[in-house]
Amino acid sequence: MNPELVETLTGWRRHLHANPAPTLDEGPTAAYVAARLRELGVTEIAEGIGGHGLVATLRRGGGNRSVGLRADMDALPIQEAAADLPWASTRPGVMHACGHDGHTVALLGAAALLLRDESWSGTVHLVFQPAEEGGGGARSMVADGLFERFPMDRIFGWHNWPGLPVGTIAVHDSAVMAAGRRFNIVIRGHAGHAALPHLTRDPILAAGHAITAVQSIVARSVDPMKTAVCSLTTIHGGEASNQIAAEVVLDGTIRFIDDEVGRLMIERLEAIAAGLEASFGVRAEVRVLAGVDATINHPAERELAAGAAGAVAPLRRDVGPAMTGEDFSAFLQKVPGAFVWIGNGPAEGGRELHNPHYDFDDRVLPVASSYLAEAARRALSAKG
């Protein structure tokens, strides 16, 4: 990639970092992306897909194959800590703490590379997705007819990864990221005076036992050869120090790769709720919210991705999956594809994902853009 394009992409990325748009409110980012695409010479742009999503289409030659390349656009509701950064977020309480600004601009860079390259033939759909951070953006785009309106034989995506050397590309053999479900346990008791506990049904006492029981699910119910996480993350209840509360709500998340493990954990949560009712005379309800499926690479596309990665950067094939979630999995349920990680450098010192000190390393941009363009070329070629 020539230095002029690298400089342009870096400027675009820093603009997006300074002007983040949160999940379900990505309109300004989508408009910025559309404007940059038009600057590059892209004329076929469809906007408002599944919310603020957009798809830009590149066509060349007479090839009948098609491929999708995806980037996510939304920021997180996190207050940026690095206020002295020249391109720090200007929007209070919102920042690109997961690198979606870099993902978006890398896809713009891939568009620039493909537009300048006359060696390929076929159709490339550039998918700029909203609402990845828990907003169901991928599913919304699918429901809005993404694959019917923009047919794709294959689709490829990526995520920056702190802890991998800058620019190194990791291709997983199968699972890349876990499935995830958020849940809450609502415990309803009978409120009363704290000095007369025998006249109440205490949901806080029940919640204390629930915490221990829930945290034991993975340790004592899941096969130790399987991978699972079950974490309680918030607790809400009580209004006065001299009152037994009427209700307590526990929130948490489960993560798993094997769907059978996910079903087992939900069953155990429901059994714990039933046990609370029997033991403490409270009412307990488990609510499991919709989440993401495991991100699992398709074999042929995994190998294609590895070939493309090895052609442009150092390649790793020995990196294990993470228990984080990624709604690119909704696309992989419909179309064969692969998802890779590209190193963002050391994770120490607050540089890990979702940290208020995080920043995307701009040196990743030319690697990621080159990888996406190369994956598209290979997918469209006869041997692809």
Domain ranges of the chain: 3-177+294-380, 179-292
Calculate mean pLDDT across residues 170-180. 97
Q: What is the pLDDT of residue 349?
A: 85
Q: Is 247 annotated as a binding residue?
A: no
Q: Does domain 179-292 have CATH number 3.90.1560.10?
A: no
Q: Is the pLDDT of residue 312 over 60?
A: yes
Nearest to 171 by CA among 281, 80, 324, 303: 303
pTM of this structure: 0.94
Q: Is 17 annotated as a binding residue?
A: no
Q: What is the pLDDT of residue 384?
A: 47
Calculate mean pLDDT across residues 187-191. 98
pLDDT per position as a tens digit, 128-168: 999 999 999 999 999 999 999 999 999 999 999 999 999 99
- Tokens 């794709």 locate to 152
The token pair at 18 is: 């300074």
- Tokens 């090839």 locate to 63
What is the rounded CA–CA span in Å between residue 22 and residue 356? Answer: 15
Q: Is 133 annotated as a binding residue?
A: yes
Distances (CA, A) of 222 to 226, 266, 284, 291: 7, 12, 23, 20
- The sign one gets for the Cα dihedral 255, 260, 263, 265 is negative
pLDDT per position as a tens digit, 347-384: 998 899 999 999 999 999 999 999 999 999 999 995 54
Q: Is 98 annotated as a binding residue?
A: yes
Calculate mean pLDDT across residues 31-38. 98
Calculate mean pLDDT across residues 163-180. 97
Calculate mean pLDDT across residues 266-274. 98
Q: Are 95 and 80 in contact (CB under 8 A)?
A: yes
Topology alike, domains 3-177+294-380 and 179-292 = no
Q: Does domain 3-177+294-380 have CATH number 3.40.50.2020?
A: no
pLDDT per position as a tens digit, 109-118: 999 999 999 9
Calculate mean pLDDT across residues 47-73. 97
